[in-house]
Structure 1
Amino acid sequence: MKILVPVDGSLASKNAVAEAIKIAKKDNGSIKLITVVDFHALAAATGEVYVAIVKQMGEDADILLNSIINETDFGGLYVEREVLTGRAYEEILRAAEDEKFDMIVMGNRGFSRIKRFFVGSVTQRVISEATCPVLVVHTEAEE
């Protein structure tokens, strides 16, 4: 079973990773962790400021994925990671369909240091439009 897990560093997404591990272990599956950097939110930034913010957001996303992988016991499961850019729900749905994931496991809401990525509306869009099952792990978001 191929499981896609969108993460943003929130408690909700960390709990989604833990749940995905349980499922993958039962089904001899694999996990792909993704995080989405949404540059659309930077419409007001220009020039060097824009470039600096984009660079920092990408670096932060990469650090996030590395920290989750380094701090989590995946119990020998095959784990991939990828930083995507775009609108969160669109990139989650695109990844799920393009790579033919069997399931998406995600938190019900979350946060990012720079911007909220995974709010209820993102989860709702993924649930509504995904072509595979979506398991939503309900956890209060960190404030």
Structure 2
Amino acid sequence: MKKILLATDGSDNSLHAARMAGELGAALKDVQVIVLYVAHVPRAYYAVDEFGNKVTPEVPMDVMIRRTGEPILRKTISALGLPEEQVVTEVQVGEPAEEIVDYARLEQVDLIVMGSRGLSPIKELLVGSVSDKVLHTAPCPVLIVR
């Protein structure tokens, strides 16, 4: 195993997943852990006017992503507890499940580790969870941690 993709959203479950990925990384030593945060940007952010020009929001997207993503990445890296040279961070923008699966495919990761949000069975049937979507579409094994 060479690459583990740790998907994080800063939740308690994703921090539990980070600790698990950290244990795997420590045991395997030569493995690289990629910490991926996906910024789910509302569709309104992509708005265009009647001439096809992008509408500029009050807060630029990169600033908004930095404000939300950086603290989450710091907290996740701390929970990992691995040496700096073993960890890589990545930020993507889009629908979380799709971005996680696409990134895993592109980087040819060996394992995806992520937290479960613990949705109730009825709510999960209606909306579906990110972890469920990743589990069913990932190109590699997926470890879901509660």
* Structure 1: gaps (5+ residues): 111-118, 139-143
* 1:69 aligned onto 2:70: no
| TM-score, normalization by structure 1 | 0.77
Shift of 1:38: 1.4
5 Å-filtered alignment, 1:87-102, equals 87-102=95-110
Q: Find 2:34's aligned residue among 4, 13, 32.
A: 32
The percent identity for this pair of structures is: 32
| TM-score, normalization by structure 2 | 0.76
RMSD: 2.4
Tell me, yes or no, if the aligned pair for 2:22 and 2:80 is still in contact at 8 Å. Answer: no
Aligned partners of 1:75, 1:45: CA distance in 2, in Å?
Answer: 38
Q: CA 1:99 to 1:45, structure 2 compared with 1: closer, same or farther past 3 Å?
A: closer
Tell me, yes or no, if the aligned pair for 2:19 and 2:79 is still in contact at 8 Å. Answer: no
Shift of 1:60: 1.6
Tell me, yes or no, if the aligned pair for 1:30 and 1:78 is still in contact at 8 Å. Answer: yes
* 1:52 aligned onto 2:53: no
Q: CA 1:22 to 1:70, structure 2 compared with 1: closer, same or farther past 3 Å?
A: closer
SS at match of 1:81: strand
Tell me, yes or no, if the aligned pair for 1:20 and 1:105 is still in contact at 8 Å. Answer: yes
* 1:125 aligned onto 2:125: no
Shift of 1:27: 1.9
Shift of 1:58: 3.2
| Structure number, greater radius of gyration | 2
* Structure 2: gaps (5+ residues): 48-54, 119-126
Q: Deviating runs (4+, > 6 A) in structure 1?
A: none
Tell me, yes or no, if the aligned pair for 1:32 and 1:80 is still in contact at 8 Å. Answer: yes
Q: CA 1:10 to 1:120, structure 2 compared with 1: closer, same or farther past 3 Å?
A: farther
Aligned partners of 1:99, 1:7: CA distance in 2, in Å?
Answer: 17
Q: CA 1:24 to 1:70, structure 2 compared with 1: closer, same or farther past 3 Å?
A: closer
